[in-house]
A and B are shown apart, each in its own frame.
Chain A
Amino acid sequence: MNNDKVIQVESLTKMFGDFIAVNDITFDVNKGEIFGFLGANGAGKTTAMKMLIGISKPTFGKAHVAGFDVFTDAENIKKNIGYMSQKFALYDDLTVKENITFFGGIYGLSRKRIKEKANTLIEELGLGNVANQLVGSLPLGWKQKLSFSVSLIHDPKIVFLDEPTGGVDPITRRQFWELIYKAANQGTTIFVTTHYMDEAEYCDRVSIMVNGKIEALDTPKKLKEQFKAANMNDVFLKLARG
């Protein structure tokens, strides 16, 4: 096992009945990398991600995440990863602080550590004024940032972000990517899906999924060369049109 490869996927496949949602995908993700996982709606991004984070059993194939097998060691994977779902999934009826405390507790952080974490998180995100407000009352952009920070609360090796910037304004998106860079600089591997092609340019490497298959995988620069495109959006369109 190569220690620099924190995610190793081989022929991973997921079927729902006859329908092949993820079709025989193979790729690696290096430690500390920002890995963009692109694809149109319904390409199979979320489905693939759910197999990697151990909440969905692959139909076949192999996958190791943080050195653990997704088939046999899903609970160990969970200790080493953070996950931010496509759908906002913190508790709307708890306050910002309570959500942080709750998830910190589940990950087994000490009370003291949770308190420290809560304070730094709230300060970094500028949520000081709303720390005791119910999360449900916050604007989507703030919720997304909070959700991202909570997914990092236990200092995971890898964090999986499923369309973290879906539906938020460009300024918030920008701030969000600053948070992502900060986490990456601290050595966290980032596995991120997105619909925004400008965001793809921020990634170290991107894969592009079409109908359950990975059709291209490289650095944004090389992909643009390969497809003779001016930007990632053109790359994506060329691929999607086949």
Chain B
Amino acid sequence: MLPIIFVLPLLQLIILSNAATFEVKNIKFGYIDNDQSSTSRALIEKFNASTYFDVLTDFSSEAFSNAAMLKGEVDVVVEIPRYFERDLQKEKHINLGVTINAIDGAAAGVENVYITQIVQDFNQHLKVDLMQISDKQVQPINIETIPLFWYNETLNYKTFMVPGILVLLVTMITLFLSGMNIVREKEIGTLEQINVTPIKKSQFIIGKLFPFWVIGMGLLTIGLIIAKIIFDVPMVGSLALMYFYTSIYILVILGIGLFISNFTDTQQQAMFIAWFFMVIFILMSGLFTPIESMPKWAQIITEFNPIKYFVEVMRMVMLKGSGFMDILPQLLKTLLYALVMNGLAVWSYKKTT
């Protein structure tokens, strides 16, 4: 136990300090260039040169960019209007259409600031360029960005935080309940009484899982009602899909809890280990800090974070109205995870010592 007390917090310190950054990086950037001029290309080049923006996708029309945004393939789309170059030279005021996926409101706000900075910087250079050519005083040219925040139009903090916090509540309570449970029975001795009965290991684990599964689903229900009534969070997608996903997700968490329970002798040990995973899962879930901004290795770790999938699915279904096919990748990974964790829980439960 002693090494665990020291090693786990150190691991947390190292992993989390690196991974949990509030900087938004690797923003998936797309554009629609209706002008196809050297000036429009220069503007796009500016975005390309920025370290914050990644993967430049050239969309031929809004229809394509909209579809990509729904799938989450792109975070930001800048639409350059027709006659961009010509109007600039005529010193007209130009509106640049910017669409930002605001399912993660914090990141969306930061992304908007980055874009505005790049465009302003571009404005400055343009002025300088023009002055050099004509050598006469020109009116400041102004390209203004008109941001549109999708899925969360007013960047309402609660709209994107409430589904996430609901995820945390469901996860925390089911993990702690299940993590403490078998250990508690070890401590009070009832587990031994169970172990001298001919009960099958899988029966035992299912019997343990079921009540907590019901509690988890109950929590989700209460949480959704509160989200709707108190926070007025939109529920765009299908409730049935939400419940279906959650019913599988909770199995993952319970499997982890029971697994921890089987490996520990006291409730303190179990609590300690459950907390370790909980803190890592929460801070690396993309709930508070965007996963795209994490270093590559940290992103790989998040692949094993069930909370990440739940947060994604919750936000996708609740705010975007994503359907079954949209969340299929998350669903399959969660299902696999559930099978593995519960397999481990059954395996690690030993009736004989």
Q: Which residues of A contact B352 (CB under 8 A)?
A: 54-57, 74
Q: Which residues of B contact A88 (CB under 8 A)?
A: 189
Q: Which residues of B contact A89 (CB under 8 A)?
A: 188-190, 192-193
Complex: A81 Cα to B197 Cα, angstroms:
8
Q: Is B1 an interface residue (CB 8 A)?
A: no
Nearest B residue (CB) for A94: B190
Q: How many residues of B contact A (CB 8 A)?
A: 14
Q: How large is the interface on A (under 10, 10 to 19, 20 to 34, 35 or more residues)?
A: 20 to 34
Instruction: Looking at the assembled complex, report how far the CB atom of A176 sits from the nearest CB atom of chain B, in whole angstroms.
Output: 18
Complex: A89 Cα to B195 Cα, angstroms:
11
B351 contact from A55, A81, A90, Cβ within 8 A: A55
Q: Which residues of A contact B279 (CB under 8 A)?
A: none
Q: Is A202 an interface residue (CB 8 A)?
A: no
Interface residues of B in 158-213 (CB under 8 A from A): 188-190, 192-199
**Interface pair B197/A55, CB less than 8 Å apart:** no
**Interface pair A90/B193, CB less than 8 Å apart:** yes
B198 contact from A75, A87, A91, Cβ within 8 A: A75
**Interface pair B353/A56, CB less than 8 Å apart:** yes
**Interface pair A57/B197, CB less than 8 Å apart:** no
Q: Which residues of B contact A75 (CB under 8 A)?
A: 198, 351
Complex: A87 Cα to B187 Cα, angstroms:
11
Complex: A76 Cα to B188 Cα, angstroms:
26
Q: Is A85 an interface residue (CB 8 A)?
A: yes
Q: Mark A69-87, 1 if CB is under 8 A from B, else 0.
A: 0000011101101010101
Complex: A92 Cα to B189 Cα, angstroms:
11
B193 contact from A74, A81, A83, Cβ within 8 A: A83
Q: Is A230 an interface residue (CB 8 A)?
A: no
Q: Is A60 an interface residue (CB 8 A)?
A: no
Q: With A83-B193, A88-B189, A90-B193 known to touch, is A55 a contact of B198 (CB < 8 Å)?
A: no
**Interface pair A79/B189, CB less than 8 Å apart:** no
Q: Is A227 an interface residue (CB 8 A)?
A: no
Q: Is A1 an interface residue (CB 8 A)?
A: no
B189 contact from A53, A87, A106, A107, Cβ within 8 A: A87
A78 contact from B189, B192, B197, Cβ within 8 A: B197
Q: Mark B323-353, 1 if CB is under 8 A from A, else 0.
A: 0000000000000000000000000000111
Q: Is A103 an interface residue (CB 8 A)?
A: yes
Q: With A87-B189, A92-B188 known to touch, is A53 a contact of B194 (CB < 8 Å)?
A: no
Q: Beyond the given A92-B188, A106-B198, could you list 16 further A-B residue pairs with CB under 8 A, ordered by the A residue number?
A: A54-B196, A55-B195, A55-B351, A55-B352, A56-B352, A74-B352, A78-B197, A79-B198, A81-B196, A83-B193, A89-B189, A89-B190, A90-B190, A103-B193, A106-B194, A106-B197
Query: Which 8 A/B pairs are nearest by Cβ-Cβ distance?
Result: A89-B193, A89-B189, A83-B196, A78-B198, A87-B189, A79-B198, A106-B197, A55-B195
B residues with CB within 8 A of A: 188-190, 192-199, 351-353
> Could you name 10 residue pairs across A and B whose Cβ atoms are closer than 8 Å?
A55-B353, A57-B352, A74-B351, A75-B351, A78-B196, A78-B198, A83-B193, A83-B196, A89-B190, A106-B197
